[in-house]
Amino acid sequence: MTFWHIFLAFFIPGILGYGGGPASIPLIENEVVDRYEWLSVNEFTEVLALGNALPGPIATKMAGYIGFQEGGWFGAFVGVFATVAPSLLLMVAFLGLVYKFKDSPRVKNMSTYVKPTIAVLLGIMAYQFFAESYISVGWMHTLFLAAASFLLMEKLKVSPVFVIIGSLGYGAVFLA
């Protein structure tokens, strides 16, 4: 049953995640935190933060790690397979068909229509994380870390890797 659940938990975000890996993050959270309760919000953040700090596609890293946690190496395989295989098989198997319709307005509408909903899902997650942080470290630390990381990543274009490492260091020293 566990493997079947791992498959479902990553198949659904994979097949609904229009807009690449990031679009499937809140969908994954919905499955692994809310539905199956494999991770707490806090643990999910750790996975997401580390996933962001490491290179490569984000959705597969999360699927691999969470699958591993729930079902060992085979669980990792199932999670990654469920994330990657369906749309890749569609792409290879129905190449001619997909190719024919890639410029169709209906197909283009698919990702356009889904975007606001993905924005809402991401926004709700951002809000949950801010609330979580406010509860655990108070508004001063939260505000400082949020403002500093926004400034560094968005304005000064510092790589997220360094920002995440910095925040880990800040936490180890000031929030321990």
Partner 1 sequence: MTYLNLFLAFFRSGMLGYGGGPSSIPLVHKEVVGKYKWMNDEEFGDVLALGNTLPGPIATKMAGYIGYRVAGMMGLLVALLATILPTIILMILLLTSLREFKDQPWVQGMTKGVIPVVAVMLAVLTWQFFDSSKKGLGLKLSLFHIFAGVILLQFLGVHPGIIIGALLAYALFGPLKGTDKKKASVREGEETG
Contact positions with partner 1 (CB under 8 A) in 5-64: 12, 14-27, 30, 42, 45-52, 54-61, 64
Say if CB 15 and CB 81 are below 8 A apart.
no
Residues in 65-104 that interact with partner 1 by CB under 8 A = 65, 68, 76, 80, 83-84, 86-88, 90-92, 95, 98-99, 101-103
Please count the other Cβ atoms lying within 10 Å of the Cβ belonging to residue 79.
Answer: 31
C-beta of 1 vs 55, nearer to partner 1: 55
Residues in 110-139 that interact with partner 1 by CB under 8 A = 110-126, 129-130, 132-133, 136-137
DSSP for residue 39: S
C-beta of 74 vs 126, nearer to partner 1: 126
Q: State in angstroms the smallest separation of the CB of 71 from partner 1.
A: 12
Q: Token digits for 85?
A: 């295989």
Pick from 118, 19, 90, 30: which is nearest to 66 by CA? 30
Q: State in angstroms the smallest separation of the CB of 128 from partner 1.
A: 8
Q: Cα dihedral angle (22, 155, 113, 44), rounded to 10 degrees?
A: 30
Q: State in angstroms the smallest separation of the CB of 94 from partner 1.
A: 9
Q: State in angstroms the smallest separation of the CB of 37 from partner 1.
A: 15
Q: State in angstroms the smallest separation of the CB of 116 from partner 1.
A: 4
Distance from C-alpha of 133 to C-alpha of 127, rounded to nearest angstrom: 10
Say if CB 82 and CB 14 are below 8 A apart.
yes
Residue 157 lies near partner 1 (rule: CB under 8 A) = no
Q: Which of 2, 3, 71, 141 binds partner 1 (CB under 8 A)?
A: 141
Distance from C-alpha of 66 to C-alpha of 38, rounded to nearest angstrom: 8
Q: Token digits for 69?
A: 């946690």
